[in-house]
A and B are shown apart, each in its own frame.
Chain A
Amino acid sequence: MEQARNRLMVVLFLFIGGFALLGLRTVDLGLIQRVAERERTDWSTAPVLPRRADIVDRNGVVLATNLDTPSLFAVPAEVRDPEQAAARLVSVLPDLSLADVLARLQSRKGFVWIKRQLTPAQVWKVNALGLPGLKFQQEERRIYPHGSLAAHILGFVDVDGNGIAGIEHFFDDRLLDPGRVGKPLRLSLDLRVQHALHDELEKAMVMHRAIGAAGVVLDVNTGEMLAGVSLPDFDPNHAARALPMARFNKLTNGVFELGSTFKIFTIAAGLEFGIVDLEDSYEAIHPIRISRFQIRDDHPKRRVLTVPEIFVYSSNIGAAKLARDIGADRQREFLGSLGLLRPASVELPEVGLPLFPDRWREINTMTIGYGHGIAVTPLQQAVAIAAIINGGVLNPATLILQSDNLQPLGRRVISRTTSDQMRALMRVAVTKGTGSFADVPGYRIGGKTGTAEKSGIGGYRRDKLISSFVGVFPIEAPKYLVFAVLDEPKGTAETHNFAGGGWVVAPAVGRVIARIAPLLGIAPESQSDENRFRRTALLVRRE
C-alpha cells in the first residue's frame, strides 16, 4: 500500500506537470505570440487584393493611386431563384450576359464573381433589387487621375491589380512590397512638363495630320526623363478598351530611321577622331552615286561646304563624305559607345531593339552618316544627343527621381572640347540654319532638324516622312533637351506644303521650351548671345 501511495504521488506530479505545461503554452500563444487586431487574418471572405504603392511625379503629384471600389459576388446557395435573379441582374447591369450570370448563379461553388469594380450608381441599383445571396466585396481599383497624360510611362494593371505594362509592370514587385507600400514610387517626371509636351505634340499632330508622335524631355546632366509622350495614347483607367496601336509606346519601343539628327554624331565623331576641324570643307556640288543609290541634299547649295555649313544646312552629301572618311569600324564603335546599337536602358518593359546592318559596308557607313539605314528609338537618340552636348558624358535614361547629392554614373564618350564645338554648331543651326523656327527669344536654344523618308516597298517614299527636331537649352550650359518626332506629317499652307522637321516639328519644340523653361527655373536673357558663337557662325555663309 505504501508503494502504491508513492507511485500515486508520481502519477499526481505527472498530471500537475502536464496541466502546467499546457497552461504555459496557452499563455505563450495568447499573450506572447498574440497578434494585434489589425493584423488578424479574415478567413471568412475572399482574398483581399494587395495594396499597391502610389506612383508620384518628382514634385509629389499623384500619378497612380488606389480607390476602394465594391465588386459584386454571389453565394449561389443563398440565391433563391437563380433564373429570376439573373434576369434582374442583367436588367441593371446590361453589359453582363444572361447565360453567363445564370451559369454562375447555378454553380455549386460557395463564391462566384458577378462583376468587378462597380460604380456607386451600379451598387445602388443592385441593392435596390433586394436579391438575397448577392454581396459586395471591397476591392482596390487602380486610378490614374491624369488619364492618358502619361499613359505609356505609367502603364496599367489588370483587374487583379497586377502590373501589365510600363512602370506598373517594371516595378510590380516594388509596388506590391508590403514593407514599402506606404512609400510612393517617385518618378523623375514633372507633370507640368509632361502636360506641355503632350499638349504641343497633340496640336502639331492635328495640325499636320500626322499618324503619330513621340517626344521626350531629358535632364541632360542626369538622364532623368521629365516628360515622355507617345501619340496616339489611351486612358490607362480603361486600358482594356485601348487599341493595340494606341498602347504601343513609340518613344521607347518604336524604332525609326530618324535622319539628319544623326549628323550630330557624324560631325562629333569627325571632330573627336581629328579627321576634320571646323574650318575644313567638303565639296557638295554633285549628288553622290554609289551602287544603285543616289545621295542628294534636301536644301542643295551646289558648292563647297564648310563643316559648320554641312551641319547647319544639313547636307547629306557632306555628311556621307565625312562618314566615309571616318570609316565603318570607327563609326560603329562610336555609335555603340553612345548606346545606339543595343536596346535603351530605361525602367520600362517596352524597349525596342535597334535595327542596323549586319555587314557594315561603305554604302551603309555613308547613309548612316545622315541617319538612314539605321533605326533607333527616339529615346535612345535623345540620350545620345544629350551626351554630345552636356560636356561629353553619357547618362542612361531613367524614370526614377535621382537624389541631388548622388553623382550620376555617367561614362565619357567625347572630349569637352568636341562637346563645346557641337553646342556652337547646334546654336548656329537655330540662328542661321534649318532649325530657325525653334528659336525662342531669350532662351538660347540649340538644335538640329531631322527629316527622313520612310522606307516602303521598293525604296524610300518621299511623301511619307519621319520629321523630328532636337532642341537643347540654355545652349551655353545645357540643362534640358527636348526631342520630338512626328510620324507622317503633312505640310500646310503655312509651311508652304513642306513637312520636314524644320517646318513642322521645330516650332512645336520651340513652343514646348517657351512653356517649360520658366517652370524649370531657366531665366530668359535679354542680351544677344551672338558674340559667343561668332567664330562658328562666321563659317556659315548666308546666300
Chain B
Amino acid sequence: MVLGRADDSLLAHWWWTVDRWLMLAILLLLALGFLLMLAASMPVAERLGLDNFHFVKRQLAFLVISFGTMITISIMSEQNARRLSLLLLPAAFVLLVLTLTIGPEIKGANRWLQIGNFTLQPSEFLKPAFVVASAWLLAGSFEDQKFPGRQIAVALFVVVITALLLQPDVGQSVLISGVFLGQLLLAGLPIGWLALLGLGSVAGLAVAYTAIPHVQRRIDIFFDPASGDTYQIDTALNAFRTGGLFGTGPGEGLVKRVLPDAHTDYIFAVAGEEFGALACLVILGLFAVIVIRGLARLLDEEDVFTLLAVSGLLSLFGLQALINMGVNLGVLPSKGMTLPFISYGGSSLLALAITMGLVLALTRRKPRSQRLPTTQDRPSR
C-alpha cells in the first residue's frame, strides 16, 4: 500500500500525521513481548496442567485484537478519542463496582470479572479513561475559570480510588494517584499543595500499610529482607546474575520454572536470565524512548487538554513500566503490576492498546493548532 502525500483519504491523512516513530517503538515492544511470552509461559502452562501453547495462543489472539484497537483509536479525531474515553470511564467504573459483588475472589482480591473464557480486569480500562477525563476537566477549568473542572476531577478521583481500594488494589491506586497528582501540577496547582498532597499520600500509604496485611508484609520485607519470605525476589535477582550480559540462551532459563508469575509480573527477570542484561537494556530503552520522547514533544504543545491528557497517559504507561522493572530488579517493594505490552494478560494488553491508541490520536500533527488556542473552537477535519 502506497500512501502518497497528496492522497487525501482518511488512511493517508492518518499515515502522514501520526507519530510513526512511536508506533515503531510500540511494535518492537509487542514483538519482544511475544518472543518472551514464548519462552516464559510454557513452563507455567505445564505446571498448571494446560496445553504448552495455551498462553501463547491466547496472547497471539489478544495481540491481534489489541493492535487493531490501537490503530482504530489512533485514526480517531481528538474529539472522538475524548468521547470514547468519557464513555469508557462510566462503563469501566460500573464493571469495577460489579467485581466487588459478583467477581470471583482470586488470590485474596476481587479484581476480575469472569466473561466466558476470559477474565476481565476493569481497573485496567478505568486508568486511561480516567486520565483523559480528568485532563478534559482540568483543561476546562484552565481555560474557563468559572468551570468547576478541578473540583469535579478531584471528586471523580476520590470515587475511583475508593472503588480501587475496596478491591483491594493498592498498586493501581498508587499509579492513578501519581498520575493525577502530576496532572494537577501541570494544570497549575500551586506548589504548596504538592506538600499537602504529599502528606496525604503518605497518610494514605500508612493506612494501606496498617489495614491491608499483604501490603504491610511486602513493605516490611523490602526494608528488612530477613523479616519474611523473599524467595520470589531472590530468585528474580539471581536470574539477572546468572544471565550476565548475554543471557543463558533462549529456553535455557530456570526462573520461569519456579516463579509462579514468570509470564506476568516477573517476565523482565526471565528476559534477564535468558537474553541477558543487554536485552533488558533494549527493553528498558524502548520504554524510555516512548515515554521521554513523547513527553519531550509535548514541550511544544499549545493545547492544554492534549498536554494534560498525553502527559497523563504517558506517565501512566511509564510509571507502570518503571514499577514493574523496579520490582524485578529489587529496587522497589514487590507489587503485582504487569510490564506494559510484554507481560501476559488480555485486559492489560487491550487497555494498553487503548492508552497508546489515545496517545497516538492526540499527538497527531495538527497543522493549524498554533492558531487555535482552545479545544472547543477546533473545527473537525
Partners in one complex: yes
List B221-244 residues whose CB lies under 8 Å from chain A.
235, 237-238, 240-244
How long is the Cα–Cα vector from A29 to B243 in the complex, in angstroms? 9
Asked whether B242 lies within 8 Å of A22 as measured between CB atoms, the reply is no
How long is the Cα–Cα vector from A404 to B272 in the complex, in angstroms? 54
Taking each of B244, B257, B307, which has the highest tally of chain A beta carbons within 10 Å of its own beta carbon? Answer: B244
Asked whether A29 lies within 8 Å of B331 as measured between CB atoms, the reply is no
The answer, yes or no, to whether B159 is at the interface (CB within 8 Å) is no
List A337-358 residues whose CB lies under 8 Å from chain B.
none
Asked whether A30 lies within 8 Å of B295 as measured between CB atoms, the reply is no
The answer, yes or no, to whether B173 is at the interface (CB within 8 Å) is no
Asked whether A11 lies within 8 Å of B295 as measured between CB atoms, the reply is yes
On chain B, the residues within 8 Å of A41 by CB distance are 238, 242
The answer, yes or no, to whether A458 is at the interface (CB within 8 Å) is no
Nearest CB of B to A47, in Å: 14
How long is the Cα–Cα vector from A43 to B291 in the complex, in angstroms? 37
Provide the main secondary structure of the chain B interface: helix
**Identity of the chain A residue whose Cβ is nearest the Cβ of B318 in the assembled complex:** A15
Q: In the complex, which of the residues B188, B284, B299 contacts A19, with contact meaning CB atoms closer than 8 Å?
A: B284
List A1-47 residues whose CB lies under 8 Å from chain B.
1, 3-5, 7-9, 11-12, 15-16, 18-19, 21-23, 25-27, 29-31, 33-35, 40-44
Interface string of B304-331 (1 = CB under 8 A from A): 1001000100010010001001100111
On chain A, the residues within 8 Å of B182 by CB distance are 11
On chain A, the residues within 8 Å of B188 by CB distance are 3-4
Interface string of A32-69 (1 = CB under 8 A from B): 01110000111110000000000000000000000000
How long is the Cα–Cα vector from A498 to B287 in the complex, in angstroms? 98
The answer, yes or no, to whether B113 is at the interface (CB within 8 Å) is no
Asked whether B331 lies within 8 Å of A21 as measured between CB atoms, the reply is yes
Asked whether B186 lies within 8 Å of A26 as measured between CB atoms, the reply is no
**Contacts A8-B311, A15-B318, A44-B254 given: A29-B329 contact, CB under 8 Å?**
yes
Nearest CB of A to B284, in Å: 5
The answer, yes or no, to whether B298 is at the interface (CB within 8 Å) is yes
On chain B, the residues within 8 Å of A35 by CB distance are 238, 241-242, 244
How long is the Cα–Cα vector from A44 to B256 in the complex, in angstroms? 10
Nearest CB of B to A12, in Å: 5
**Contacts A4-B186, A8-B298, A30-B277 given: A43-B242 contact, CB under 8 Å?**
no
List A346-398 residues whose CB lies under 8 Å from chain B.
none
How long is the Cα–Cα vector from A412 to B186 in the complex, in angstroms? 92
Q: In the complex, which of the residues B185, B241, B288, B304 contacts A29, with contact meaning CB atoms closer than 8 Å?
A: B241
Asked whether B240 lies within 8 Å of A29 as measured between CB atoms, the reply is yes
Asked whether A4 lies within 8 Å of B241 as measured between CB atoms, the reply is no
Asked whether B241 lies within 8 Å of A26 as measured between CB atoms, the reply is no
**Contacts A4-B186, A4-B307, A7-B186 given: A27-B241 contact, CB under 8 Å?**
no
Asked whether B331 lies within 8 Å of A22 as measured between CB atoms, the reply is yes
Asked whether A11 lies within 8 Å of B245 as measured between CB atoms, the reply is no
Asked whether B284 lies within 8 Å of A26 as measured between CB atoms, the reply is yes
Nearest CB of A to B363, in Å: 14
- The tally of residues in A whose CB lies under 8 Å from a CB in B reads 30
On chain B, the residues within 8 Å of A5 by CB distance are 299
Interface string of B185-214 (1 = CB under 8 A from A): 111100000000000000000000000000
Asked whether B281 lies within 8 Å of A27 as measured between CB atoms, the reply is yes
Chain B: interface size category: 35 or more
The answer, yes or no, to whether B1 is at the interface (CB within 8 Å) is no
Asked whether A11 lies within 8 Å of B277 as measured between CB atoms, the reply is no
Asked whether A15 lies within 8 Å of B292 as measured between CB atoms, the reply is yes
**Contacts A8-B186, A26-B272, A29-B237 given: A19-B292 contact, CB under 8 Å?**
yes
Asked whether A12 lies within 8 Å of B296 as measured between CB atoms, the reply is yes
How long is the Cα–Cα vector from A1 to B187 in the complex, in angstroms? 9
On chain B, the residues within 8 Å of A9 by CB distance are 299
Q: In the complex, which of the residues A1, A7, A27 contacts B277, with contact meaning CB atoms closer than 8 Å?
A: A27
**Contacts A4-B186, A11-B311 given: A31-B277 contact, CB under 8 Å?**
yes
How long is the Cα–Cα vector from A15 to B325 in the complex, in angstroms? 13
Nearest CB of A to B293, in Å: 10
Asked whether A30 lies within 8 Å of B240 as measured between CB atoms, the reply is yes
Asked whether B244 lies within 8 Å of A25 as measured between CB atoms, the reply is no
Interface string of B244-274 (1 = CB under 8 A from A): 1100000000110110000000000000100
How long is the Cα–Cα vector from A40 to B253 in the complex, in angstroms? 11
Nearest CB of A to B111, in Å: 26
**Identity of the chain B residue whose Cβ is nearest the Cβ of A36 in the assembled complex:** B244
How long is the Cα–Cα vector from A42 to B272 in the complex, in angstroms? 16
**Identity of the chain A residue whose Cβ is nearest the Cβ of B289 in the assembled complex:** A19
The answer, yes or no, to whether B105 is at the interface (CB within 8 Å) is no
Q: In the complex, which of the residues B257, B329, B330 contacts A44, with contact meaning CB atoms closer than 8 Å?
A: B257
On chain B, the residues within 8 Å of A34 by CB distance are 241-245
On chain B, the residues within 8 Å of A16 by CB distance are 288, 292
Taking each of A7, A11, A29, A31, which has the highest tally of chain B beta carbons within 10 Å of its own beta carbon? Answer: A29
How long is the Cα–Cα vector from A8 to B292 in the complex, in angstroms? 11
On chain A, the residues within 8 Å of B330 by CB distance are 25
On chain B, the residues within 8 Å of A21 by CB distance are 331
Q: In the complex, which of the residues A11, A25, A29 contacts B315, with contact meaning CB atoms closer than 8 Å?
A: A11
Nearest CB of B to A131, in Å: 20
The answer, yes or no, to whether B51 is at the interface (CB within 8 Å) is no
Nearest CB of B to A263, in Å: 65
**Contacts A8-B298, A12-B295, A30-B280 given: A19-B288 contact, CB under 8 Å?**
yes
How long is the Cα–Cα vector from A41 to B243 in the complex, in angstroms? 12
**Identity of the chain A residue whose Cβ is nearest the Cβ of B283 in the assembled complex:** A26
How long is the Cα–Cα vector from A113 to B348 in the complex, in angstroms? 43
How long is the Cα–Cα vector from A436 to B151 in the complex, in angstroms? 117
Asked whether B322 lies within 8 Å of A30 as measured between CB atoms, the reply is no
**Identity of the chain B residue whose Cβ is nearest the Cβ of A11 in the assembled complex:** B182
The answer, yes or no, to whether B276 is at the interface (CB within 8 Å) is yes
The answer, yes or no, to whether B302 is at the interface (CB within 8 Å) is yes
Asked whether B302 lies within 8 Å of A1 as measured between CB atoms, the reply is yes
Asked whether B245 lies within 8 Å of A18 as measured between CB atoms, the reply is no
How long is the Cα–Cα vector from A7 to B182 in the complex, in angstroms? 9
Nearest CB of A to B270, in Å: 13
Asked whether B299 lies within 8 Å of A18 as measured between CB atoms, the reply is no
Which 3 A-B pairs have CB atoms at the shortest separation, nearest pair first? A30-B277, A29-B240, A19-B288
Contacts from A to B (Cβ < 8 Å):
1, 3-5, 7-9, 11-12, 15-16, 18-19, 21-23, 25-27, 29-31, 33-35, 40-44
Q: What are 29 inter-chain pairs, A to B, with CB distance below 8 A? A: A4-B186, A4-B304, A5-B299, A8-B186, A8-B295, A8-B307, A12-B292, A15-B291, A18-B322, A19-B284, A19-B292, A22-B326, A22-B331, A23-B284, A23-B285, A25-B329, A26-B240, A27-B277, A29-B272, A29-B277, A30-B245, A30-B276, A30-B277, A31-B245, A34-B241, A34-B242, A34-B245, A42-B254, A43-B235
Contacts from B to A (Cβ < 8 Å):
182, 185-188, 235, 237-238, 240-245, 254-255, 257-258, 272, 276-278, 280-281, 284-285, 287-288, 291-292, 295-296, 298-299, 302, 304, 307, 311, 315, 318, 322, 325-326, 329-331
Query: 9 more A-B contacts (CB under 8 A) besides A11-B311, A29-B277, A29-B329?
Result: A4-B186, A4-B307, A18-B318, A22-B325, A26-B284, A30-B240, A30-B280, A33-B240, A40-B242
